[in-house]
Structure 1
Amino acid sequence: MTSVFPYLPEMIESFNVPKDEVASWAGITSAVFSLSQALTGIFWGRASDRFGRKPVIIIGMLCIMLSSLLFGFSRSLAWAIAARAFAGSVNGNVGIIRTTVAELVPQKELQPRAFSVMPLVWTIGSIFGPGFGGALAKPAAKYPGLFGKSGFLKRYPFALPNIIASLFFLVGLAAGILFLKETLETKKHRRDYGRVLGRLLLRPFVRREPVKPHHDNEQTALLWGHSRSYSTSPSSDGNNKRSQGSLDRQAPPKYSEIFSKQSSINLLTYTLLALHSVAYDQLLPVFMHYPAQGSPTSGQNVQLPFKFGGGFGIDSNRIGLLYTLYGVCGMFIQFLIFPPVARSFGVLPCLKVVTIMFPIIYVATPFAVLMPTAISQQIAMFIVMVVKCFAVVFAFPCTTILLTNSAVSLRVLGTLNGVSTSISALGRAAGPAIGGWTFSIGVEKGYMIVPWWVLAACAVLGAFPVWWLVEMDGFGGNEDNESNTEVNDDLRSLDGDELSRSKPKTIENDASKHSATNEDLPTSLGDSTEHSKTVNGGSRIE
């Protein structure tokens, strides 16, 4: 998706759009994507609650791959806009993947690390996407020795980066089908033939460790054998089927359950954040590509410090390079800085700090063009981009964690994330449209600061709801307690004679206590489980 950014202004120009209108049409192209996403986000969220997370994610990836190819083969502005609208209508995966992460990791102390994975993956894509997008756009003109004789690439100058992007989608589809785990409670126990095939493919590469005839390991195996026989007895199977049937018959969550006070404030915060942040990201390549003014200190249209109307005048290759470096910095911040800082200071305090940073960043952005040389202009712009990257890397995961923890139960989480995708998409649609319109006005009047200062005002508005947020406990704690109680009940129900024969001393002591914790239980089961924690009734996190 990020491969589009560097060449979008050139693509719109190739449709014979005047330079002064490129920003407006770039904003409209981005807006229709988000507007279509807003109209279908709740549908995809509900579908994931009914049919499962995995099939909806797979279908979404397949459709986005097709939309990418349609966009690359665009021959007119209407075709490009229609392709982006189709891409938005099938792009419901963001909210569903957030739901999947939340269901895999309900523990609050692990959430900063878990919810930093999605932005980290996005950042990795931001490293390579703009790089090959800018480098491979219009290849016949850029590399005449290689592609100059290709009539196909001359006819479709923006097809190559989208074809390459489709290959990445194919890899993602294969990985999802073969290895993605279903997390919806009512569907996760069904047989997944894709994962079965994935395990078969991995079997030659997985080394099996021989079972050591150690006393503790024998006790562990015996105890787990009893546990399995207990949990898979006919009566237990009947109870499981009845329980799953009752879950399947659950009514859809009510809107009063979805839109609690904190959930509503989180949705407002997330929408306003998406509005100004996405508008900035869409507007920046247009600003970089817009022709440079002859001299920022000369000309009748220049009255410093506020009246100037030039851009950087750089091509898609250089824009792609800057975005690649931007992505590298983002990956470093995402992986090494965000998790420990969020754990140390808390998610909500971090969000409050970065929301104050956004208006300052936006106000400073247009002044980078006033530096005396082209290189110094690009260095100044890159510094601003890195600061913006720091704020974004903290803002979106923090908002996601707060929104997830505001859900009253796991039952509403899929729908809540679908709603967040739809509502935030309204902001993603409005932001680029506002940015493109104000950019055109600013260029016409000779005030390049206009679009950026409008975004700064939007960022100030978006900072206010953050101060009304309360960091909720989420549902992880309750789930852990319920899971722990079930395990202790299972241990107490085992036959006393069988336990006495195996003599697991620590287990006997723990089973007699009603206050056993998740940390105590696995270590008492033997050395083979000392690095695991039992959560959610059996799934383990290393």
Structure 2
Amino acid sequence: MSAIAQAHRERRLPKQQLAILAICRFAEPLASTSLFPYLPEMIRSFSIPESEVGKWAGLAAAMFSLCQACMGIPWGRFSDLYGRKTAILLGLTSTMFTSLLWGFSTSLPMAIVARSLAGAGNGNVGIIRTVVAEMVPFKELQPRAFSIMPLVWNVGSIFGPTIGGALANPLGVKPGEVIENPSLFQRFPYALPNLVSACFFAIGITNGLLFLEETLETKKGKRDYGRVVGEKITGLLKSHVLKVEEILHLRSSSSAREETETEPLLKPQDDEEAAPNDEPAKSTSPPPGLREIMTPQSALNLLVYFGLAMHTMAFDQLLPVYMSYPSINLGDPQDITPPSRNSSPLKFAGGFSLDHFRIGLISTCYGICGMLIQFFVFPPVARRLGVLYCLKWCACVFPLAYFAMPFTALLPTQKAQIAVGFAVMMLKCVCGIFAYPCSTILITNSASSLRVLGTLNGIATSVAAIGRAAGPALGGSVFSYGVKRGFVIAPWWAMSFVAVLAAIPVFWLKEGEGFGGDEGDSDGEGGDGDERETAATDGRVREVGKSGSADGPSDLRLQEHEDEANDEVGGLLTRTNTASSAGIVDAGSASGLAPGSRRGSQSQTLSRKNSRGMRRTSIPIGMGGRPISRRYSSNLGQSLGSAGSYNER
């Protein structure tokens, strides 16, 4: 097998673990998006005036993000200390209980406290991003891997609004209505969607406890009792399946082959290797300092991420309030300032006048389209154009979508308003689908080393949470201020202005090379353009530079082609195994020919491959213990190794 084919074969996504992680993640977007369709109606049920609904809805969303911002870094540190899996499971458990508290809220203060606790008790956004980075160390696979969790969010955003719109207030209780001997859902009309969300949280927690692997390097050797139980359950189920197959005569292999298939494919070499190591590996390196964590590019990426989170979250939170607000032609005479059309083309106040069920349907269609774009459009486009180029285009389009959105209320019919409004929503949807994973990849690859990744992602979570807190709070307040004075354009144009400011630093970003220098790179591996390699020819070892070769032009081209696929490690997310390298060199020297004999070009190529073992061999984190020597593509969007390795999202 050629070196390039070997590299392609080994560079694969860990699909099973990514699927398990996706199941753990699924309940969070389901719970988060299920509240949007009924949020304005729920705020009204607390006896809040129509003109103040936007402000309090924004405050509820802001408190969640603000508390998440305060706890993002502590959660990142916690995951670095106690493990990613532990932090993820604790976050899921906390969110499950706080979502129930939100659903059973009977007053505005209780609802805001519930959202605050939900934000403080979950730092999974940054932690899951770190887990994905540790599972998938290869840059050419990162567009696929880092788009999985946003894809899960889009799938959750399909079912979440449907659950919220269909199950909220199932008995049609009106705000302020007094009912004698009320039933459970008459007393708590918004509890049912959150009970359904809690069931999905329970599934995610159980799945993660039994099957999710720990990716933190210092915790990998510790015995995981949850996985032990999960393996026993899996083995029991497999044995029952085999028995059923035998009864139904569905197994066509011979009994000898059946016995072979029951044995593990890879047997341990000795008892020491087979026994689990209950003692966690101890890290001797000091904790990274702020200077190591916050490189100039990391700081710039975090600034971009803050602006992106601020204006996109403001749009998402304000949209259901805007769609539920009475339209210009259907003003509410009881409102202090009813929606009105003025002679000024910019002075108008009105929305779509939709109920929570139709808002849920629109949000569901929005999520379906987003999932299709995430699944089929984003990975090939990002791979072809590069993540930085895609992010620049998105940053330029966001302000246009926000600028146009309020004018949809001026259309003469509700159908026209919904159709054109949905088109503007899709424009923003496409930009959001591209911008978030692209920004995430740029932040991840701006890290100076692997050991700062958890903390950097914790900071990114906090920074984004501050943006998600500021966006809805300002958007909701400006919306309430604007509609009182007849200017519904005020919050949308404010978001457009913020998006313009957020687009400016994007043009100073650079694509990082990934995680270099994790173990110290004293030999300059991957960074020296004058790297030299050895080749055994005519019974002696000679040095061959990249700029020339004594074997002729054809051998030089072949050598350079192989060098591109195998030699330079670059910014690979790795740990180094020098013992394996030494073993390869010894094996190569032991198989050499006698002095004076000549090799053909094929033998010379093989000798070059063996001699490359003199360099340190890299083992990608999370990809097993076999030594691999390869190079990251310097362009994340254009890579030879990404062919045929499509996973989710």
Q: When the two structures are superposed, what TM-score results if normalisation uses the length of structure 1?
A: 0.85
- CA distance in 1: counterparts of 2:441 and 2:36, whole angstroms: 28
Task: Single out whichever of 380-389 and 404-413 deviates more from structure 2.
Answer: 380-389
1:35 corresponding residue in structure 2: 66
Query: Deviation per CA, 1:183-219, whole angstroms, max 9, x where unpaired?
Result: 00000121212122222222334889989999xx9xx
Q: Residue in 2 aligned with 1:263? A: 298
| Residues 510 and 161 of structure 1: CA distance in aligned 2, closer, same or farther (over 3 Å) | farther
| One-letter identity of the residue aligned with 1:118 | M
Distance in 2 between residues matched to 1:431 and 1:331, nearest whole Å: 24
- CA, structure 1 residues 49+482, in 2 after alignment: closer, same or farther (shift >3 Å)? closer
Partner residue, 2:225: 193
Report the alpha carbon displacement of residue 508 of structure 1 after superposing the two structures with TM.
9.0
More helix by share: 1
Q: 2:393 and 2:411 mapped to 1: Cα distance? A: 29
Q: Does 1:489 align with 2:520?
A: no
Residues 510 and 521 in structure 1, CA contact (< 8 A), matched pair in contact too:
no
Listed as ranges, the matches of 1:180-219 within 5 Å are 180-203=212-235, 204-205=237-238
How far did residue 515 of structure 1 move? 5.4
Listed one character per residue, the Cα deviations across residues 278-327 of structure 1 (whole Å, up to 9, x for unaligned) are 0110000000011111179x997423531210111100000000000000
Q: 1:303 to 1:327 in 2, by over 3 A?
A: same
**SS at structure 2 position matched to 1:198:** helix
Amino acid at match of 2:439: T
Aligned match for 2:432, one of 392, 397, 405: 392
Report 1:37-186 matches (<5 A): 37-141=68-172, 151-186=183-218
Map of 2:421 onto structure 1: 381
Q: Which runs of 5+ in 2 are unaligned?
A: 1-31, 175-179, 243-250, 332-337, 517-569, 592-602, 629-644
DSSP-derived class of the 2:119 partner: helix
Relative distance call for 1:480 and 1:272 in structure 2 (3 A) is: closer
Distance 1:28 1:125 in 2: 23
Structure 1: distance between partners of 2:217 and 2:622: 17
CA distance in 1, matches of 2:618, 2:73: 40
CA distance 1:494–1:229, change in 2 (3 Å):
farther
Contact 1:483–1:537 under 8 Å retained in 2: no
Structure 1 residue 488 displacement after superposition:
3.5
Q: 1:481 to 1:94 in 2, by over 3 A?
A: closer
Given candidates 11, 22, 36, the residue that maps to 1:5 is: 36
1:525 corresponds to: none
Q: 1:529 maps to which residue?
A: none
Deviations 1:315-344 (CA, angstroms, capped at 9, x unpaired): 000000000000000100111100100000
Aligned amino acid, residue 283 of structure 1: L
| Matched residue type, 2:358 | R
Deviation at 1:44, TM superposition (A): 0.3
**In structure 2, C-alpha distance between the alignment counterparts of 1:142 and 1:16, rounded to whole Å:** 13
From the superposition, tell whether residues 521 and 80 of structure 1 become closer, same or farther in structure 2 (CA, over 3 Å).
Answer: closer
Aligned mate of 2:625, from 525, 537, 541: 537
Q: Is the 8 A contact 1:491 1:511 kept in 2?
A: no
Q: CA 1:533/1:194 → structure 2, altered by over 3 Å: closer, same or farther?
A: closer
1:320 and 1:115 map into 2 onto residues whose CA distance is: 27
Q: Map Cα deviations across residues 350-399 of structure 1 (whole Å, 9 max, x no partner).
A: 00000101000000111111221111111111111111110000000000
1:399 counterpart letter in structure 2: S
Q: For residues 46-80 of structure 1, give each alpha carbon's deviation from its aligned partner in whole angstroms, at most 9, with x where no partner exists.
A: 00000000001000100000000000000000000
Q: Residue by residue, what CA displacement relative to the aligned partner does 1:1-50 show, whole Å, maximum 9, x if unpaired?
A: 11011101000000000000000001111111111111111100000000
Write the deviation string for residues 481-514 of structure 1: whole angstroms up to 9, x where unpaired: 755755443445689999xxxxxx9999687332
Letter of the 1:44 partner, please give it. Answer: W
Note if contact 1:479-1:536 (Cα within 8 Å) is conserved in structure 2. Answer: no
Per the alignment, do residues 307 and 471 of structure 1 end up closer, same or farther by CA in structure 2, a change over 3 Å counting? same
Q: How far, CA to CA, are the matches of 2:269 and 2:255 in structure 1?
A: 21
1:39 counterpart letter in structure 2: C
User: What's the RMSD between the two structures over aligned residues?
Assistant: 3.9
Deviation of 1:417 after TM superposition, in Å, equals 0.6
Write the distance in 2 (CA, Å) between the matches of 1:452 and 1:516: 60
Alignment partner of 2:611: what SS?
A: coil
- Rate the CA distance shift 1:510–1:90 in 2: closer, same or farther, 3 A: farther
Give 1:251 shift: 2.3
Q: Deviations over 1:255-282 (max 9, x none)?
A: 1111110000011000110000001100
For residues 427-457 of structure 1, the C-alpha deviation after alignment (integer angstroms, 9 at most, x for no partner) is 1111101101110111011111110000000
2:255 & 2:208 partners in 1: Cα distance? 35
> What is the CA-CA distance between 1:91 and the residue it aligns to?
1.8
Amino acid in the other structure paired with 1:43:
P
AA partner of residue 303 (structure 1): S
Q: Are the structure 2 counterparts of residues 299 and 521 from structure 1 closer, same or farther at C-alpha, using a change threshold of 3 Å?
A: closer
Question: Is the Cα contact below 8 Å between 2:580 and 2:627 reproduced in 1?
Answer: no
CA distance in 1 between partners of 2:590 and 2:139 (Å): 39
The Cα of 1:179 is off from its aligned counterpart by 1.4
Residue in 1 that maps onto 2:12: none
Instruction: Return 418-427 or 121-130, whichever deviates more.
Output: 418-427
Alpha-carbon contact 2:55-2:477 (below 8 Å) kept: yes
Q: Aligned residue for 1:288?
A: 323
Measured after TM superposition, the shift of residue 149 of structure 1 is 9.2
Q: Rate the CA distance shift 1:364–1:252 in 2: closer, same or farther, 3 A.
A: same
Is 1:347 the counterpart of 2:379 in the alignment?
no
2:33 corresponds to 1:14: no
1:244 matched to which residue of 2? 281
The one-letter code of the counterpart of 1:312 is F
Question: CA shift at 1:521, angstroms?
Answer: 12
Contact 1:120 1:331 in 2 (8 A): yes
Q: How many residues align?
A: 509
| 1:369 aligned onto 2:409 | yes
SS in 1 for 2:217: coil
Mapped to 2, the partners of 1:114 and 1:413 lie a distance apart of: 16
Check whether the contact 1:36–1:88 (CA below 8 A) recurs between aligned residues: yes
Report SS of the residue matched to 2:189: coil
SS at match of 2:512: coil
**Where does residue 478 of structure 2 map in the other structure?**
438
Work out which of the two has the higher radius of gyration on C-alpha atoms and give 1 or 2. 2
Query: Which one-letter code corresponds to 2:324 in the other structure?
Result: H
Show the counterpart of 1:526: none
Aligned to 1:470: 510
User: How does the TM-score come out when normalised to structure 2?
Assistant: 0.72
Q: Match of 2:172, SS?
A: helix
> C-alpha separation between the residues in 2 aligned to 1:533 and 1:267?
25
Letter in 2 for 1:489: A
Are 1:330 and 2:370 matched, yes or no?
yes
CA deviations 1:90-143 (Å, max 9, x no partner) are 120100000000011111100000000010000000000011111111111189
1:26–1:537 CA distance, 2 compared to 1 (3 A)? same
| Matched residue type, 1:131 | T
More moved, 344-353 vs 286-295: 286-295
> Percent same amino acid at aligned positions?
49
User: Aligned partners of 2:618, 2:303: CA distance in 1, in Å?
Assistant: 42
Residue 514 of structure 2 aligns with an amino acid whose one-letter code is G
